[in-house]
Structure 1
Amino acid sequence: AAAKSNASNSRYLSFSLCYILYNSLMAFVAAMITAIASVVSVLLLRAVWVTLSCYFLTPMRIRRTMAAQGVHGPPPRPLVGNLRQVSALVAEANAGDMTSLS
């Protein structure tokens, strides 16, 4: 009876050790998933902030500063800005001869 009790205790100890290791592994996996999700969230928020700053906040600040100095122009379109107007002005400037240099 003692040998059977000892084997039963050994089996119980083995089962509880596996249970503890399994729970520890699951806790580790959950912590790693949380850490990875946090890093991805921070990187995504950083990308959103850089994009917002580059395409919206900085041009708005520059337009406001230039308007305060009396410089006005056509409102820019998203992503392309005033490329058509600028290229038309450059083409017009380069179309004729420079009489002041002749």
Structure 2
Amino acid sequence: MAEPDETTRVEHHADRHRFEILVGDEVAGYAEYRPGAGSRDFDHTVTLPQFRGRGLAAVLVRDALDDTRAAGLSVVPSCSYVRHFVDTNPEYRDLVAGA
């Protein structure tokens, strides 16, 4: 799995309800969510084709879930990738709403 380095960063754009992962200054992918009462429903995650296969989606979702935890919110993993990430990373299961 890729780890963030000096050219990879994740930004939260709360006004657009999404997290973006950038490689250099280029958006490589994003995770969108619908805000709810005490939760974020992650419903769509995309890695742009030219950036696939580098583990960037995992870095993006990990940062998004860490931010969600820090904000005191739970997660609704409607997106299949976010659901898979939570299922394979048990340290995030407690974030799932109703878990």
> What TM-score do the two structures reach when normalised by structure 2?
0.25
Larger Rg: 1
Q: Determine which structure has the larger helix proportion and give its number.
A: 1
Higher relative contact order (CA 8 A, sep 6+): 2
